[in-house]
């Protein structure tokens, strides 16, 4: 992988032995915890312990200066020099051992996925990347001595491991020999910073055409998830593994260049600090930002969420499974740990007490529609008890969103084909005293923003207290609160066309636009009808609600109506003929969507939509008894959303046929309809 390393776990060797590193034996071990995490966190542990800056009782990069210190302070006692350099070499080569373990774990995930493995490996055969990776391996000391002589740099071909691990044990070696070798080493590896930069460019700028290598991987892995070839969790682990391979190559290059800078006994420590906190810190900042972007692309492109616009929130798992929050937080913590090379202390400018304290806190992200942005900037978020935090690194995600706006006082749905979700990132420091592990900070967010301990710097070190905050709720919102309503109520004729049918208590109460997600019902319509046996006609009333205008690409959508219907009928009040003879009549309602071309499509009607054994109907009920029937349910229709105006139409009907037997009493019936909510979602791609 990345040059000379094979993905076959049987070929992955330890940096200091010829014993293969064991790979996981079952997929149960390839979770967010377990051996895979231990291998990944070993790399961040090395960063935190050796090159992190701004930490009390720790000097980032000190290990690089210690090579020359060990050589210079040993005096004539070569045994002491060897002992000190062995200890230093063990720390420097831990990067390679961690990389070997990670290689084995990633290889296990890909073992049954030949096509994906071939794709990932082929993508690494970029000439400049191979050359940079190979050159770093040579300078680090991971290749044969013959390869050491293939560099165009000056000086004896002395690698880092040759200098620190092998030469101290040469027969007859002296301190002067080691000092001369150190100078030759520095000259020989002078091109390594350029190799580190090459890897950065390939990872985050351009590798294949105009696409960075990270995004190239993310797109393919996202498609593999969509094709059910690999789970989303394992796809994220593969992306993480390949990213860390590239970073590990750069960390090996950092070891090489850091020790080379340290050969200047007077200014070496300052050179090391400058390179770490300015040059290499910027490399890590760019790469980790690009890595988080790639993780988000993989996750959201494979989820393809179809938001229920008009709902109250996105707290359930319908759109975003809960493990997505953990995958995102993992990427955040990994990135924060790698960025510690440029850490210069806390907000107060003072060094952080520990590496754990340097990155603890709440890592948040919120999703926005374009209309949610204010002057192109994301809104602040502020969990309960915290100062509002500003969003950073705003960017588009690879999925469309239904974005309702008011234009000229009229509801409008933006073109779905060009309207994409935006994500913004947030960080909030924990207050003092610190929140307890497992204690919810704010229940209004998914998962309650609950802090947990994460072994970012290894299982044998104190965990990092962190909480994830993922807020997609704005995607579920329709029109702004208080959006203008446009509706028309056409009641029944009150006299029913004669003296035998009369309508009473007709009322339409519209409380909000159907596509806002304000609290409470949308609207309700009710009427009462009284009739005797001589009535022989039909009447209807209607309520029109303008929903929205759309001017965009065609997309398949689903519209949900959440309704309640209630039918109440008093016993027939006969004067002389009893209640044996019922008139053939009924009342009903029907909800339709009217399309731009004037055609209709029915959501439901009160006769048939509740099932044959649960109709909201007078038919089949005894007219001598009180009747009170209520039903609630959600109904939906699928259709192609095309440009034009859309209306929601409620039709109420009352149908009468003259009875064969006369009777003198009145019948009284009341029908109520309530639209609880209306929601729209995408179920297909734009065309």
Angle at 173 between CA 172 and CA 178, to 5 degrees: 170
Distances (CA, A) of 660 to 230, 439, 528, 536: 70, 73, 24, 11
Mean pLDDT confidence for 229-244: 92
Q: Is the pLDDT of residue 407 over 70?
A: yes
Instruction: Name which of 665, 652, 625 is nearest 531 in CA terms.
Output: 665
Task: Please give the pLDDT value at position 11.
Answer: 31
Task: Please give the pLDDT value at position 512.
Answer: 93
The alpha-helical segments, DSSP class H, found in 189-231 are 192-204, 213-226
The helix (H) or strand (E) run that includes residue 87 is: helix 78-92
Q: Is the pLDDT of residue 502 over 80?
A: yes
Q: Is the pLDDT of residue 247 over 80?
A: yes
Which range among 131-140, 257-266, 320-329, 612-621 shows the weakest confidence by mean pLDDT? 612-621
CB neighbour burial string for 632-646, b if at least 16 within 10 angstroms, e if fewer: eeeeebeeebeeeeb
Task: Please give the pLDDT value at position 8.
Answer: 35
| Alpha-carbon span 58 to 56, nearest angstrom | 5
pLDDT tens digits, one per residue of 3-12: 333 333 233 2
3-state secondary structure at position 499: coil
Task: Please give the pLDDT value at position 4.
Answer: 39
Query: Could you state, in order of their start, the residue ranges of all structural domains in the chain?
Result: 49-304, 306-320+356-475, 487-686
Beta carbons of 336 and 360 less than 8 angstroms apart = no
Task: Please give the pLDDT value at position 581.
Answer: 47
Task: Please give the pLDDT value at position 627.
Answer: 83
DSSP conformation letters of 299-342: HHHHH-----BTSS---SSSSS-THHHHHHHHHHHHHHHHGGGG
Longest alpha-carbon distance in the chain: 131
pLDDT tens digits, one per residue of 317-356: 677 888 899 999 999 999 999 999 988 887 777 888 999 9
Spell out the residues 6+ positions from residue 428 whose beta carbon is closer than 8 angstroms to its own.
Answer: 361, 362, 364, 383, 386, 387, 389, 469
Token pair in block for residue 616: 């909201």
Which pTM does this prediction carry? Answer: 0.84
pLDDT tens digits, one per residue of 167-205: 988 998 888 899 899 999 999 999 999 999 999 999 998
Task: Please give the pLDDT value at position 21.
Answer: 32
Question: Half-sphere exposure of 16 toward its Cβ, with a 13 Å CA cutoff?
Answer: 13
Mean pLDDT confidence for 53-68: 78
pLDDT tens digits, one per residue of 11-58: 322 333 333 333 333 333 333 455 667 778 888 988 988 888 888 766
Task: Please give the pLDDT value at position 306.
Answer: 67
User: Average pLDDT, whole number, for the chain?
Assistant: 84
Mean pLDDT confidence for 292-311: 83
Q: Is the pLDDT of residue 91 over 80?
A: yes
């Amino acid at each position: 992988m990345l040059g000379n390393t094979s993905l076959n776990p049987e070929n992955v060797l330890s940096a200091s032995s010829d014993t293969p590193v064991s790979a996981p034996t079952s997929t149960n071990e390839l979770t967010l915890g377990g051996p895979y995490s231990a291998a990944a966190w070993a790399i961040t542990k090395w960063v935190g312990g050796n090159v992190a800056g701004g930490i009390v009782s720790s000097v980032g990069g000190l290990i690089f200066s210690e090579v020359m210190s060990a050589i210079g302070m040993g005096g004539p006692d070569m045994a002491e020099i060897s002992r000190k350099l062995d200890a230093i070499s063990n720390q420097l080569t831990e990067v390679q051992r961690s990389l070997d373990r990670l290689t084995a774990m990633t290889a296990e995930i890909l073992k049954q996925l030949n096509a994906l493995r071939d794709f990932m490996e082929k993508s690494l055969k970029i000439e400049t990347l191979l050359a940079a990776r190979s050159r770093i391996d040579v300078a680090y000391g991971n290749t044969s001595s013959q390869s050491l002589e293939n560099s165009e740099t000056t000086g004896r071909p002395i690698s880092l491991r040759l200098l620190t691990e092998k030469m101290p044990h040469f027969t007859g070696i002296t301190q002067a020999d080691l000092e001369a070798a150190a100078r030759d080493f520095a000259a020989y590896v002078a091109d390594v910073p350029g190799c580190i930069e090459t890897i950065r460019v390939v990872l985050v700028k351009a590798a294949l055409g105009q696409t960075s290598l990270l995004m190239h991987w993310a797109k393919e892995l996202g498609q593999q998830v969509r094709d059910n070839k690999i789970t989303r969790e394992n796809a994220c682990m593969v992306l993480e593994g390949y990213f860390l391979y590239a970073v590990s190559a750069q960390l090996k290059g950092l070891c090489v260049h850091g020790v080379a800078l340290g050969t200047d006994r007077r200014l070496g420590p300052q050179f090391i600090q400058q390179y770490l906190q300015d040059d290499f810190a910027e490399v890590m900042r760019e790469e980790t930002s690009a890595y988080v972007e790639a993780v988000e692309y993989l996750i959201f492109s494979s989820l393809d969420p179809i938001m229920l616009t008009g709902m109250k929130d996105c707290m359930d798992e319908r759109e975003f499974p809960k493990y997505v929050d953990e995958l995102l937080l993992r990427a955040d913590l990994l990135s924060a740990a790698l960025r510690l090379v440029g850490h210069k202390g806390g907000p107060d400018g003072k060094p952080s007490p520990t590496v754990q304290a340097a990155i603890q806190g709440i890592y948040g992200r919120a999703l926005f529609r374009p209309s949610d942005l204010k002057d192109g900037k994301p809104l602040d978020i502020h969990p309960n008890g915290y100062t509002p935090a500003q969003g950073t690194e705003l960017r588009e995600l690879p999925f469309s969103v239904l974005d309702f706006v008011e234009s000229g006082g009229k509801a409008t749905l933006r073109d779905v084909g060009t309207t994409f979700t935006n994500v913004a990132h947030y960080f909030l420091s924990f207050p003092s005293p610190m929140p307890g592990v497992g204690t919810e900070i704010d229940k209004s967010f998914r998962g309650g923003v609950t802090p947990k301990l994460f072994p970012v710097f290894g299982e044998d070190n104190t965990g990092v207290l962190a909480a994830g905050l993922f807020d997609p709720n704005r995607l579920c919102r329709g029109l702004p609160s208080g959006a203008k309503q446009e509706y028309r109520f056409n009641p029944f004729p009150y006299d029913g066309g004669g003296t035998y049918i009369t309508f009473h208590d007709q009322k339409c109460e519209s409380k909000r636009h159907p596509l806002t997600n304000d609290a409470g019902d949308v609207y309700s319509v009710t009427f009462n009808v009284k009739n005797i046996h001589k009535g022989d006609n039909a009447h209807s009333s209607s309520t029109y609600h303008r929903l929205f205008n759309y001017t965009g690409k065609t997309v398949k959508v689903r519209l949900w109506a959440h309704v309640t219907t209630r039918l109440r009928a008093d016993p027939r009040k006969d004067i002389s003929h009893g209640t044996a003879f019922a008139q053939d009549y009924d009342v009903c309602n029907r909800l339709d969507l009217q399309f731009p071309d004037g055609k209709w499509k029915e959501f439901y009607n009160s006769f048939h939509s509740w099932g044959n054994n649960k109709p909201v109907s007078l038919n089949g009920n005894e007219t001598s008894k009180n009747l009170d029937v209520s039903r609630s349910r959600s109904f939906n229709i699928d259709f192609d959303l095309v440009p034009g105006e859309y209306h929601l139409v409620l039709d109420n009907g009352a149908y009468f046929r003259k009875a064969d037997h006369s009777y003198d009493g009145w019948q009284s019936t009341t029908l109520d309809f309530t639209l609880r909510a209306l929601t729209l979602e995408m179920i297909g791609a734009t065309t």
